Amino acid sequence: MKKLIVGQSGGPTSVINGSLAGVYYEAKKRGYDKVYGMVNGIEGLLHDHIVDLDDYFQDKNNLELLKRTPSSFLGTCRFKLGSIEKNEDTYKKVFEILDKHSIDSFIYIGGNDSMDTVESLSDYAKANNKKQNFIGVPKTIDNDLPITDHCPGFGSACKYIATTLKEIILDNSCYGDTKQTVAIVEIMGRHAGWLTAASALAKDDTCEGVDAIYLPEVPFNLDSFIEETSELLKKKSSVVIAVSEGIRNEEGKYLCELIDSNLMVDSFGHKELVGCAEFLSKLLRDRLFIKTRPITLATLQRAAAHLASKTDLEEAYNCGRKGAELAYNGESGKMVYMERVSTNPYKVEYKVFDDMHKIANVEKKVPLDWIDVENNYVKDDLIEYIRPLIQGEVKQIYKDGLPQHIVLKK
């Protein structure tokens, strides 16, 4: 019997389950007898916590529900395997469990840290003559994976951000000229400002758009921020500003570290970033004596499956299918990626990158020549890059007025 196991890792997206659906569909189509799921990624696998996905998805209707379900159906983790030299017992345990279930192929859906896991397991397998092969399927709303033109999950998050900013801009302007108001919208993005840049898409014939965009690629200066906001308020009464959660000052210190120097750190060494909008909102209120409102999109920007981009969902599904195809063909230590063939008309091709060492733990940032530093905004090239990714709407399946989802049985 030929068997495959698939897992999801890192922060969820609204379409990560689309990739899982693609893996399952293509694996069964190509003849895998069993397709298992890791519950809570590699961390769950180490506890032999796996499920038979046939129990859920032999019914094609459930596979359609899966595509429309936010979060990670299989659960997720942020677990670092560490170096082979210092953690060989952990690696041995992974392969003992894979051998126990006679698993041939391993697919991991995730971002930078997940590709690190694929790379490490593939290296160990090659060095120890193990039969299993390992494939990475990209996922991240942050769009910071190298090689691929963009990542599944990014387009839907952009669609949500641009839509929400349009609504916030209208709401913030409801007082007209009778009251000056500033809304600070905090958007995810630790080192890369791709998501915050998507706020520029809010501008159209019915919306004047955000007034300023601050990305982590450009050093942030508090005094300049106050002065720039003051100048905006001389021209208009309603101001809406988009900021990345990871904006830093000239010394490279996160703005949120000015609020709390003891930020929590995860297993990968990432500091928990929170509080930029609240800090800046209070700063403006105290300095300029105006009404301000902090808005943090937080989990909403990655969980809004009801506003998923059809283009994004289709690409997530296709990446999953490509991953299963590679696994079936015996490829290992490789990642699926998308290459943009054309922007207008928009078209991508699904390809394979065969050197995981150039992907794992490498972050792709917004190019500086796509940022309008002088005007605290982004250039048209960046807007044109993102716009095709938000196109199309996903028809939801409703019951009693609410969208339906599928969840893992407890």
What is the reported pLDDT for 112? 86
Dihedrals φ, ψ of 364, to 5°?
-100, 120
Portions of the chain given CATH number 3.40.50.450: 3-152+305-362+391-403
Q: Residue 221, by phi and psi: left (phi above 0), alpha (psi -120 to 50) or beta?
A: beta
Task: Kindly provide the b/e burial profile for residues 200-213, where b requires at least 16 CB atoms within 10 angstroms of the residue's own CB.
Answer: bbbbeeebebbbbb
Q: CATH for 3-152+305-362+391-403?
A: 3.40.50.450
Residue 255's pLDDT is 85
Give the residue among 103, 114, 141 at the shortest CA–CA distance from 8.
114
Q: How many Å apart are CA 43 and CA 81, to the nearest integer?
A: 9
Residues forming the active site: 142
What pLDDT does 270 receive? 53
Q: For residue 56, what are the β-bridge partners?
A: none
Range(s) for CATH 3.40.50.460 in the chain? Answer: 155-303
User: What local confidence, expressed as pLDDT, does residue 170 receive?
Assistant: 97
Closest CA to 23 of 49, 4, 51: 4
Task: Please say whether the beta carbons of 74 and 40 come within 8 A.
Answer: yes
- Tell me how far apart the terminal alpha carbons of the chain are, to the nearest angstrom: 28
Q: Could you tell me which CATH class the domain 155-303 is placed in?
A: alpha beta
Helix, coil or strand: residue 378: strand
Measured N-to-C along each axis, helices 222-235 and 276-288 cross at an angle, to the nearest 10 degrees, of 60
Mean pLDDT in runs of 10 for the chain (410 residues)? Answer: 96 97 98 98 97 95 97 95 91 97 98 91 96 97 96 98 98 92 95 97 96 97 96 97 93 77 51 80 95 95 97 98 98 97 97 86 92 97 98 96 93
- Taking the C-alpha atoms of residue 139 and residue 125, their distance in angstroms, rounded to an integer, is 24
Q: Write the DSSP assignment of 59-87 as a string of letters.
A: SHHHHHHHHT--S-TT---------TTT-
Say what the pLDDT of residue 254 is: 84
